[in-house]
Amino acid sequence: MKLDQQVYRKRREKLLAQMPEGSLLVLAASNLKTRNNDAEYPFRQASNFYYLTGFNEPEALLVLSKGGEHAVTLFCPPRDPAMEVWTGYRAGPEGCVERFGADQAFNLDEIDSRLPKMMDGVAQLLYPIARDAALDTRVKGWLETLGKSVRAGAVLPQSLADSDRLLHEMRLFKSSEEIVIMQRAAQISAAAHVRAMLACRPGSYEYELESVITAYCGSQGARFQAYTPIVAGGANACILHYIENDQAIADGDLVLIDAGCELDNYASDITRTFPANGHFSAEQAAIYDLCLKANEACIEAVKPGACWNSLHELSVRILTEGLVELGLLSGDLDELIESGAYKRFYMHRIGHWLGMDVHDVGDYRVNGEWRKLEPGIITTIEPGIYIAPDDHSVEERWRGIGVRIEDDVLVTDSGHQVLTGGVPKARGEIEALMNNGG
């Protein structure tokens, strides 16, 4: 499932339209990263670069010129049949022009000679300032080279600006084509979570459930996860970024799985928590139902105009109120919220933007105010409660329970659409699924 090249062309045009006259934007692709010795991690293109090109080769460079002779320039790895025996097919400059919408394209080894000239006399140079040390150094080098020619008439850029400001605002709002892909990624991940629930038995190892998730996603064309899956049995769920995934799951444990696949570089992000033996204990059920109440109420509140922070505040109020009812916190509700007493059990925020990056780009505050939701934004809603196994301030029966319930929610014109509805979250539905296959 891939986006059409027309989509990338339109994005470049939209970005160019927002760039100042006479400006130049430089954006780098990812490089291959070494895992150990000469083995590399699977290649993952830089999201900003892929967003504007759909071009999936390492080390490339995109240059957009507003008002220049060539609007779109790509530098790319060369065609080299001897190398391609090892690396696979490369598009080369011709392919970049023919299939990736470049007005001109050159081999990588021409970057250092061409970039200083391309920067000559531009009104503004845009690039992701201080995000990528290697690119910062290269830009400085190109400017130094250009600076050596000032007596020959070269003119340094008049100003520098951060390209992310324009680009990230664009990426925050998903088009209908992007929503189709993200919906599919979410469906695949939801089905994978269902399979993990069905596969789980007391005594299962966390990595077994991880492999159920990754194998299913891979079988559906989503070979990569958007992030390292968290499969946490029992008290491991209280470690928010637990990724060891190497422990046996005991009878009576809850299992928290936070996993989502990536499709054409778009993320999904789902968390479900379920009992290893198919039956919630009374304490587990109480914590679970409280998280579910917050999850459902916050999802209901997702609509155009809703303030980002008000979603978080709603989750804090519901969870704190419930913790008081369960005797896990005591005191005045408003004071417990004001003092942040709930943070002992709920220490993260309600969610994050979701897109090409799992923690997607886009500001949460705009002009000093919390952002108001608008159609096309996709956010996660993921309240959780985590009671540390060594928290002696609560009765022993509560200790080591960790629950999070996370869905991906699209803001629509009329309200919202949950993309991750394919995996159950009501307690009765989970128990029915696990005990008689739904």
Q: Could you give the string, one character per residue 164-183, with x where binding to Mn ion holds by CB under 5 A and - elsewhere?
A: --------------------
Q: Could you give the string, one character per residue 185-224, with x where binding to Mn ion holds by CB under 5 A and - elsewhere?
A: ----------------------------------------
Residue of the chain from 380, 386, 401, 407 that contacts Mn ion (CB under 5 A): 380
Confirm whether 359 is a catalytic residue: yes
Compare residues 197 and 405 and give the one whose CB is closer to Mn ion. Answer: 405
For residue 101, give the DSSP letter. Answer: -
Rounded-to-integer distance, Cα 419 and Cα 183, Å: 6
Find the shortest distance in angstroms from Cβ 362 to Mn ion: 15
Give every CB contact of residue 366 below 8 A, 6+ residues apart in sequence.
none
**205-206-209-215 Cα dihedral, nearest 10 degrees:** -100
Confirm whether 57 is a catalytic residue: no
How many CB atoms within 10 Å of residue 150?
11
Instruction: Mark the segment that binds Mn ion (CB under 5 A) among 43-51, 203-211, 375-383, 428-436.
Output: 375-383
Residue closest to Mn ion, measured at CB: 269
H helix intervals, 244-382: 282-300, 308-325, 333-339
Find the shortest distance in angstroms from Cβ 260 to Mn ion: 8
The residue with tokens 């539905």 is 429
Rounded-to-integer distance, Cα 341 and Cα 325, Å: 15
Confirm whether 363 is a catalytic residue: no
For residues 88 and 42, the answer to whether their CB atoms sit within 8 Å is no
Which is the catalytic residue, given 344, 348, 349, 399?
348
Q: Under rule CB under 5 A, how many of the chain's residues touch Mn ion?
A: 2
Instruction: Mark the segment that binds Mn ion (CB under 5 A) among 92-100, 141-149, 326-334, 372-380.
Output: 372-380
Rounded-to-integer distance, Cα 210 and Cα 177, Å: 30
Rounded-to-integer distance, Cα 41 and Cα 69, Å: 38
Which is the catalytic residue, given 406, 407, 408, 416?
406
Confirm whether 382 is a catalytic residue: yes
DSSP secondary structure of 143-193: HHHHHTTGGGT----SEEEETHHHHHHHHHS--HHHHHHHHHHHHHHHHHH
Site for Mn ion in 256-275 (CB under 5 A): 269
Which is the catalytic residue, given 164, 206, 258, 408?
258
Give every CB contact of residue 334 below 8 A, 6+ residues apart in sequence.
none
Find the shortest distance in angstroms from Cβ 359 to Mn ion: 7
Find the shortest distance in angstroms from Cβ 96 to Mn ion: 35
Which is the catalytic residue, given 359, 363, 374, 399?
359
Helix then strand then coil, % of the chain, to nearest 5: 40, 20, 40
Compare residues 323 and 350 and give the one whose CB is closer to Mn ion. Answer: 350
How many CB atoms within 10 Å of residue 173?
15
Which is the catalytic residue, given 382, 407, 408, 416?
382
* Cα–Cα–Cα angle for 396, 285, 271, rounded to 5 degrees: 105
Query: Can residue 277 be called a binding residue for Mn ion (CB under 5 A)?
Result: no
Compare residues 264 and 269 and give the one whose CB is closer to Mn ion. Answer: 269
Site for Mn ion in 339-368 (CB under 5 A): none
Residues that bind Mn ion (CB under 5 A): 269, 380
The catalytic residues are: 38, 241, 258, 269, 348, 352, 359, 382, 386, 404, 406
